[in-house]
Structure 1
Amino acid sequence: MFDPKVLEDFSNKISALIAASPAKDVEKNVRALMGSFFTKMDLVTREEFDIQAQVLARTREKLQALEARLETLEKAQRED
């Protein structure tokens, strides 16, 4: 089988080559470009999305309760 040390050495050498090459600069530039792109898209984090989804669910529940209450009141008024 493969010696884990050989794979680790190979990985370290590749990492060193990338760090010493223009590829590292390209990676930094791509990250900066992507960060700028995502900022312009006005995205939200998953946590923010989940919080807003919970707020919306509670609002829907309250709306349904109010609709049911209104229906009950309207029904009682018609019966009078």
Structure 2
Amino acid sequence: MQTRNPLLNDFAELMTDAFGAAQAVGEEARTAMRAQADRFVADMDLVSREEFDVVKAALAEARGEIETLNARIAALETAATARPAPAPRKRKPAAKTAAAKSTD
């Protein structure tokens, strides 16, 4: 036959309640920390992964375009130094127009 000790029963209930309260406090602390971390991240003005990937792709495209343009500039500079500069052209005197001839 089993006897029930009221002191042990009270102690067991107290421990059960204390464990439940500790769990509740732990969950509330976790929730508060998560809210604080979310607020901290929001204040940092971070970008999303999608925005980062879009900017990264645009940067790669711009770098490719810069390399192409640098190659074209180098080719043009090489071509310009390889041949002598053309002599300046002499301008022909402007022909007189009919209105200008009539005033002479």
TM-score interval (norm. to shorter): 0.5 to 0.7
The CA deviation string for residues 1-59 of structure 1, in whole angstroms up to 9 with x for no partner, is xxxxxxxxxxxxxxxx69x8233332321221011111222211111111111111001
Aligned-residue Cα RMSD (Å) equals: 1.9
Q: Does 1:57 align with 2:60?
A: yes
- The equivalent of 1:25 in structure 2 is 28
If the length of structure 1 is used for normalisation, what is the TM-score?
0.66
Larger radius of gyration: 2
* Total equivalences in the alignment: 63
Identity %: 33
Structure 1: unaligned runs, 5 residues or longer: 1-16
- The equivalent of 1:68 in structure 2 is 71
Q: Which has the higher contact order (CA 8 A, sep 6+)?
A: 1
C-alpha separation in 2, matches of 1:29 and 1:69: 59
C-alpha separation in 2, matches of 1:57 and 1:26: 44
Which of 47, 52, 55 is residue 44 of structure 1 equivalent to? 47
> Moved runs in structure 1, 4+ residues, more than 4 A?
none
C-alpha separation in 2, matches of 1:54 and 1:40: 26
Structure 2: unaligned runs, 5 residues or longer: 1-19, 84-104
